[in-house]
Amino acid sequence: MNVFPSGRLENPYQKEEKMPKILDEAVKQIKKSSPGVNPYAVATSTLQKAGELKKGTNKPTKLGVQRGQMSQKARRANPPSGK
């Protein structure tokens, strides 16, 4: 088995998935503004309703990938169309 730099062992049976950038940014914002809530649940639910994450998963849609590449300022200036 391989050992990560942090010292924990790599589990060959568990594939570690990277959180989409749009979800990561949303979680950071929720942690800052709303202590006491589960930021992952709130961000996932909100982004799924907005169509930026696929329903029932943390995988981004095409829209989610595009909006994840935008800066926060650009996302606020260009809300998703059709909503």
3-state secondary structure of 77: helix
Q: Which two tokens stand for residue 38?
A: 């589960």
Question: What's the CA angle centered on 60, arms 15 and 11, to 5 degrees?
Answer: 5
pLDDT band at 43 (very low <50, low <70, confident <90, very high): very high
Domain boundaries, the chain: 21-70
3-state secondary structure of 7: coil
Q: What is the pLDDT of residue 15?
A: 54
Q: What is the pLDDT of residue 1?
A: 47
**50-75 confidence digits (pLDDT tens):** 999 999 888 999 988 888 888 878 87
